[in-house]
Structure 1
């Protein structure tokens, strides 16, 4: 059985698939990537794999080199290798994504037999994943580091700079930041609940929020450090956001 193979179609389709896989892996693993570096690495990787496919007569040898050499190098080029475990997790995630996308691509080819449609769908997938990644990246850029101090003890958390958090203590008028209640347990000394105030979020009814007062809070954002004396902290049970790294919602009044 013979079939026609077009190098340009193969290169473009695989380039879009590889970029889609990189964006999807960055989304799934909450990792960052640079668009320019990602594009350059994917172009180099796909070009190299295309040349190998043309030169090598045995497809098995090509597959071994592709999966054991080219894909690991591409993963390293895009995401780096901070530690071996994280690198392997990223590589396996990319393999899984490519496996699923390859199955979808083959199904489209068998059912519709249109290489143009394959390229179009791959491009749409890459564009969609890129948009989602950019949205996630903007959220990540709104995260700052906060140190919470109780006496000589301190706990460092990732806080989301939430311009929608306008909650204030009705008695003192001071801003109230929202913190995961589990974080407070990291302090050796118990902090007494000072008061309860009413609050509500989108999709929920009014509820009582327990307030504690810490000794100080240091906010690190945009190269500056802001120290707040005796900040009022509202305690929230469960996750603050879908991003598991975020443990605190900063008040809008503290955002620079």
Structure 2
């Protein structure tokens, strides 16, 4: 059996599908998409897919290349995400959008409308899409609570990651400033060289009923927020051992009152 292929119709159809899928995915994930990036990603993805179809005789390798190289590249051109987890989430939601726009719609048109199989198929896809949205929401909240920090010391600047913890409300009674918690290893060298004077402050929030915490005061700290950086003058840091930090995502636990300054 032979089929006639109209390249212009194919290109326009796929370009429209790609653009619509990327737009739906962006709305679903509540991400702003520039029209130029969306059109660029859709055009590039459709053009490369079409080119590979005509020059590649092996349809299996063509499918592999499109699904694992071309489509992810199209998503990257549209969203420009540089974080692995976020990028993978964008790819997953975009593919689900392709599924809902293309696969489900085409399948339903070729089969009996309202069939029970279609209902189950659609319901499963909708549930999976809802789960993906919940996962992306969790990743976004996690991303929003971790900030790039720039610590200003007399010996130079130190770049670290900081987790914004609303439960950390420790205050230095001597100067009345919020106390942030930092891995002791970060400032160990400067402390040993006598560059940072250490003092003790009382605490009640590090797994003990009461105790004394070694603390130092730095020259300043920048919290790199997306809208604008927050600068804290003379921030106080309590030093804690590695076991307090459950993973390597951050070296500092920011005080819950950090953003009030």
Category of TM-score, reference length = shorter chain: 0.5 to 0.7
User: Following the alignment from structure 2 to structure 1, what is the Cα–Cα distance between the partners of residues 161 and 201?
Assistant: 24
- Change in 2 beyond 3 A, CA 1:192/1:36: same
Count how many residue pairs are aligned between Structure 1 and Structure 2.
Answer: 206
CA contact (8 A) 2:199 2:216 kept: yes
Equivalent position SS for 2:168 = coil
Q: Measure how far apart 1:39 and its partner are.
A: 8.9
User: Are residues 58 and 148 of structure 1, via their aligned partners in 2, closer, same or farther at CA, if it must alter by over 3 Å?
Assistant: closer
Larger radius of gyration between Structure 1 and Structure 2: 2
Give distance in 2, aligned partners of 1:121 and 1:245. Answer: 34
Structure 1 runs not aligned, ≥5 long: 1-10, 24-32, 99-112
CA distance in 1, matches of 2:183, 2:125: 40
Normalised by the length of structure 2, the TM-score is 0.55
Q: Is the 8 A contact 1:240 1:248 kept in 2?
A: no
SS of the equivalent of 2:242 reads coil
Distance 1:189 1:118 in 2: 66
* 1:76 and 2:76 correspond: yes
Deviation at 1:245, TM superposition (A): 3.3
SS of equivalent to 1:118 = helix
- Aligned pair 1:165/2:168, yes or no? yes
Q: Counterpart of 2:202? A: 197
- Report the aligned-residue RMSD: 4.9
For structure 2, list consecutive stretches of 5 or more residues without a partner in the other structure.
1-16, 96-115
How does the TM-score come out when normalised to structure 1?
0.56
Which of these residues, 220, 228, 233, is aligned with residue 228 of structure 1?
233
Q: CA deviation at 1:77?
A: 2.5
Relative to structure 1, is the Cα distance of residues 218 and 198 closer, same or farther in structure 2, using a 3 angstrom cutoff?
Answer: closer
1:159-178 CA-partner distances (Å, limit 9, x unpaired): 23333321123455432111
Deviations 1:78-127 (A, max 9, x none): 55486xxx88xx78xx79xx9xxxxxxxxxxxxxx934323322222222
1:132/1:209 CA distance change after superposition, 3 Å: farther
In the alignment, which residue of structure 2 is the partner of 1:212? 215
C-alpha distance in 2, partners of 1:227/1:184?
18
Matched residue, 2:252: 248
Matching residue of 1:135: 138
Say if 1:129 and 1:166 are closer, same or farther in 2 by CA, change over 3 A: same
Q: Is the 8 A contact 1:209 1:236 kept in 2?
A: no
CA distance in 2, matches of 1:120, 1:171: 60
Q: Secondary structure at 2:251's aligned position in 1?
A: strand
Deviations 1:130-173 (A, max 9, x none): 22212321332244343323323221222233333211234554
d(CA) in 2 for partners of 1:176 and 1:158? Answer: 16
Once residues 240 and 136 of structure 1 are traced to their aligned partners in structure 2, the CA distance between those partners, rounded to angstroms, is: 22
